[in-house]
Chain A
Amino acid sequence: MSQTKQVKQLDRVIIRFAGDSGDGMQLTGDRFTQESAVFGNDLVTLPNFPAEIRAPQGTIPGVSSFQIHFADHDILTAGDRPDVLVAMNPAALKANLGDLPKGATIIVDTHDFTKRNLDKAGYTSNPLDKLGPDYEAVDDSVNELAGFQVQPVDLTGITVEAVKEFGLSRKDAARAKNMFALGLLSWMYGRPTEPTIAFLEKKFAKVADILGANVAAFKAGWNYGETTETFVVQYEIKPAKMQPGTYRNITGNLALSYGLVAAGVRSDLPVFLGSYPITPASDILHELSKHKGFGVTTLQAEDEIAGIGAAIGAAFAGQLAITTTSGPGIALKSEAIGLAVMTELPLVIVNVQRGGPSTGLPTKTEQADLLQAMYGRNGEAPVPIVAPQSPGDCFAAAVEAARIAITYRTPVFLLSDGYLANGSEPWAIPSVEDLPRIEANFATEANHDKGDGAKEFWPYLRDEDTLARPWAIPGTAGLEHRIGGLEKGEGHGNISYDPANHDRMVRIRAEKVQRIADSLPPLEIDDPSGEAKVLVIGWGSTYGPIGAACRRVRRAGYNVAQVHLRHLNPFPKDLGEILKRYDKVLVPEMNLGQLSRLLRAEYLVDAVGYNHVYGLPLKAAELAEAVGALVGEAEGRDVDLGEHGINAPADHEEVPQ
């Protein structure tokens, strides 16, 4: 390293890479993430991209971004406000500037600040022109870049020059500019370069010139940081002190897919996925289709209904049946989910939630399908609901959903969301031996005494503890039986229109789902002082922002408790008692108050909602202010979070000492 460069210690940094949809920002972010993961930082990522594959080039709707928060301590969110923005064109600058705190660093590709691109982004003049000598911002009143540290670099021009020897067209050469940006940022933050070079060698193994150009651009970016005088400071963020174990970085969709494969292995059942492509769930179909070696069959059906139909058929035939989709697909599958409730067949239904209603915001996150999962069917049709709380947690949640489905012979909802699906974090790789074993326990013998000494098979004669019915699969001699959507007579399972029987069966199906609570561990309450009067309770991907908000409140000197629910139906048995211990209950959700409605109905608790539906994760600092306000109300005093709320320096998520 050059002697003139200073090295500054930081405890955490938030970087956002932003560019046009075709600029490779997701790949750039992903590579920076892998480098940081290998380096040993804790990290959380937030990809954010348009639904269009190639939205009009250079426009604001076409901007794609990838945010990474990495730190030398345990963190919970991708961060509210980036410290560094890499903007590949004017639209990327304009779309993201409002999220930056003053003082943030902005690296722009000056090459793309042409009249045409400025027009497309809606700039009437070039904001870079208002930067003074040495690019110091001048004239605060008219310059929107005033107060930021802007670093204009001709990323494209230097990249084209750096890859000249490979003889690519100018267009192809310019495409390597994302690797130049990655190289530059990798130098700035002392990231290891080997993983990226190895990655490129694998990705472009068959196209030597493209490989050469990408590696050259990456190295040129690194060298540009080290040798030019533009960048004088290099930053160091030490590895985080994490729990012992072997880690990898993982996205929610990948972890969820692995969890489903693991559930097949631990239940000794072939996995069968019936699915129809839909954003943001398709990656699970793609991933599972790679694992035929584990006995996984994937069927891309003609529509959402056929996807679950085939899965129900496979469940009847004795396989671990799965269907994956997002909210609109659940709407289509609802009648079939009712059939699975009635026939009491094991089935895991994955809903990677996205912004709704209707087509809504396909690539954005939301958790507004909770009540759909809970009630979105005709009749009294209870379905257990499991929700993961972080990308890595999707693995364990998938295993848990399969455990409940198989043990209780029931369809189970696994509610992920767009943020979990594409976001990533370091994941402590679990030991396979520690995963629960799941017993299919297929029925093999007749179970009911006919009275004359002979026995016959009754498909709806239940286990006394779990109320699960026997799973008798075709090919089992003597257990031939018919099931279907019509109401069943208790025990024998023949069609029954008897009023008293229907009342009994409706109650039994409800009770069976409630019995699942017997198998759940007590809730973990995060209440370090034991003196909190306010409880913040959430579910799903809000775990990170809620946890970060609670840490802020505690660092400011106040008490607050946090509980996060994995099981939404049934609720854990101790939840009611826990809710009663606190004076105030706050329920942050990315919807208009769906969990809070369930809690109010079930426990008569005066739950207060905190509800945002921006299609983005909740912001920890804003949520901390809301928690602080409620703490003030509960404790009858003024609460000022100071620097731990929305005031700078924001985004500190370390656990208070």
Chain B
Amino acid sequence: MSTIDLPMPLLGTSLVPPIAEGEKQTGKDFSSDQEVRWCPGCGDYAVLKAVQSFLPDLGLRRENIVFVSGIGCSSRFPYYLDTYGMHSIHGRAPSIATGIATAREDLNVWVVTGDGDALSIGGNHLIHALRRNVNMTILLFNNRIYGLTKGQYSPTSETGKVTKSTPVGSIDHPFNPVSLALGAEATFVARTIDSDRKHLTAVLAAAAAHRGTSFVEIYQNCPIFNDGAFDAIKDNETKDHAIIPLTHGEPITFGVRSDETGLGDKALVRAASGGVEVVETASVAAEAILVHDAHNPDPSTAFAISRLTDAGYLNRSPIGIFRQVDRPTYDDQARAQVATATEAVAGKGTPEERLAQLIGAGDTWTID
């Protein structure tokens, strides 16, 4: 197909107009005049602050940034950013963002969603956005609970969870959002943590730079209905043992780090089953330790790593960029098809003249 042959832009933001040279933006420029209304202590505050501080780094014109959200606590996000934004309906934000991103190459499009919004009511739109690879960044705030409806279990809640709607424990098997995204062949998949500003900001930067759908799961604490869900990976005492850090090109190890080698005392190696398993670093040869390759076109290893996430209470989870590969985006190709067709009719009359030809074509007859 000729349209795929057209050169595709490299970065997610390549076609978005930058700010004028010498112009300075700060986080304040991206703060709207609306009062933020999340519960005290909500992890959403930290993410909002991180995003507001990060946006100036993009160097894009504010009017060319659009945030779209669905329904849920996290979906109030667009109101607090002084960009264009739409707080839409439950689960449908990826479809609305798809329309925006396809219609306009000059916009930097973000989706803010939660575990209920994206994985329950909006599951279909999420997987199809990832499959199409529309140029946008999806931030999925995962607090493993329904907050806005006051405390029912969510599609990421652990089995057995006792909530208002599951007084004797949930019997639902939870989704692992990263596994789901990899299964849908997403081209950029990452996981980060609300309270780790540095890591979160680095992931945001990589996600925005990626051309295609960037999927970012953000572990986010709900202090009201699911407080402490991520304590193991946040507590300074335990986090080194709970977080499996993923850095492209680096051997994957965690736990107590050796001063000498910098490696943790636990490492990931290929398992006989074909998956990936955790072993004592000292028990294997250095070459056997898995080196993280986010650019591997085959998502199997990334998927295997994602399976090391605890499905129950979170005592262990890989964190970082699981996968980042290039694939033509839906919106670039859709625009290229239109561009090819419009170029083909250039010089063949005004739109009005061509319309007259179109409706006047076929078998016609004239009555005087």
Contact = CB atoms under 8 A, between A and B. Distances in A.
B128 interface: yes
Contacts of B361: 248
Contact of A318 (B102, B103, B128): B103
B95 A477 contact: no
B368 interface: yes
Given A292-B341, A317-B103, A243 B367 contact: yes
A302 B134 CA distance: 14
A474 B84 contact: yes
A429 B364 contact: yes
A310 to B, nearest CB: 3
Contacts of B34: 494-495
Nearest to B37: A495
B359 interface: yes
A638 interface: no
B89 A339 contact: yes
A489 to B, nearest CB: 11
Interface stretch (A19-27, A117-125, A360-368, A478-486): A478-486
Contacts, number: 212
B365 A294 contact: no
Interface in B25-60: 32, 34
A311 B95 CA distance: 9
Contacts of B341: 292-293
Contact of B89 (A311, A315, A335): A335
A258 interface: yes
A433 interface: yes
A258 B342 CA distance: 17
Nearest to B69: A484
Contact of B106 (A475, A483, A495): A475
A311 B63 CA distance: 21
B313 to A, nearest CB: 34
Given A305-B95, A313-B99, A318-B103, A293 B85 contact: no
A314 B103 contact: yes
A126 interface: no
B120 interface: no
B87 A486 contact: yes
A312 B61 contact: no
Interface in A375-401: 395
Interface string A463-485: 00000000000111111111111
A293 B103 contact: no
A250 to B, nearest CB: 8
B5 interface: no
Nearest to A430: B359
Given A244-B367, A293-B344, A309-B96, A479 B338 contact: no
B354 to A, nearest CB: 7
Interface in B82-115: 82-90, 92, 95-104, 106-107
Contacts of A44: none
B364 A247 contact: yes
B86 A316 contact: yes
A491 to B, nearest CB: 15
B124 interface: yes
Interface string B66-92: 101101000000110111111111101
A302 B82 contact: no
Contacts of A89: none
Nearest to A258: B359
Interface stretch (A34-42, A56-64, A526-534, A556-564): A34-42
B258 to A, nearest CB: 49
Q: Chain B CB within 10 Å — which of A242, A294, A318, A494 has the most? A: A294
B25 to A, nearest CB: 13
A272 interface: yes
Interface in B338-368: 338, 340-342, 344-345, 351-356, 358-368
Nearest to A456: B33
A186 interface: no
Contacts of A430: 359
A482 B86 contact: yes
Nearest to A311: B99
A433 B366 contact: no
A310 B361 CA distance: 31
A183 to B, nearest CB: 18
Contact of A432 (B90, B356, B363): B356
Contact of B103 (A319, A479, A483, A486): A319
A481 B365 contact: no
A198 B158 CA distance: 68
Interface in B307-334: 334
Contacts of B360: 246, 248, 429
B365 A309 contact: no
A140 to B, nearest CB: 44
Q: Chain A CB within 10 Å — which of B95, B104, B352, B362 has the most? A: B95
Q: Chain A CB within 10 Å — which of B88, B107, B344, B353 has the most? A: B88
B95 A432 contact: no
A309 B92 contact: yes
A292 B345 CA distance: 10
Given A297-B102, A306-B125, A313-B99, A261 B355 contact: yes
Contacts of B66: 316, 474
A379 to B, nearest CB: 13
B367 to A, nearest CB: 5
Interface in A485-513: 485-486, 494-495
B62 interface: yes
B134 to A, nearest CB: 10
A484 B107 CA distance: 19
Contacts of A311: 99
B179 interface: no
Contacts of A248: 360-365
A583 interface: no
Contacts of A338: 89
B362 to A, nearest CB: 5
A77 interface: no
A312 B88 CA distance: 10
Given A37-B365, A40-B365, A429-B364, A299 B100 contact: no
A212 B233 CA distance: 76
B61 A477 contact: yes
Contacts of A429: 359-360, 364
B342 A314 contact: no
Contacts of A274: 95, 99
Nearest to B345: A293
B64 interface: yes
Contacts of B159: none
B366 A317 contact: no
A310 B86 contact: no
A103 interface: no
A475 B107 CA distance: 7
Contacts of B353: 432
Given A40-B367, A195-B363, A429-B359, A474 B98 contact: no
Contacts of A654: none
B64 A309 contact: no
Contacts of A395: 359
Contacts of B92: 305-306, 309, 336
Interface of A: 34, 37-38, 40, 195, 242-249, 258, 261-262, 265, 270, 272, 274, 291-297, 299, 301-303, 305-307, 309-319, 321, 335-336, 338-339, 343, 395, 429-433, 474-486, 494-495
Given A313-B100, A429-B360, A480-B83, 16 more contacts: A38-B363, A248-B360, A292-B341, A293-B342, A294-B358, A299-B334, A302-B128, A306-B128, A307-B95, A309-B125, A314-B102, A316-B66, A316-B96, A321-B99, A335-B89, A474-B63
20 contacts: A246-B367, A249-B362, A249-B363, A261-B355, A265-B352, A270-B103, A292-B341, A294-B342, A295-B342, A301-B128, A302-B124, A314-B103, A432-B355, A474-B65, A474-B104, A475-B107, A480-B83, A482-B78, A483-B85, A484-B87
Give the top 7 A-B pairs by smallest Cβ distance, nearest first. Answer: A313-B99, A484-B87, A309-B95, A310-B99, A292-B341, A306-B95, A482-B85
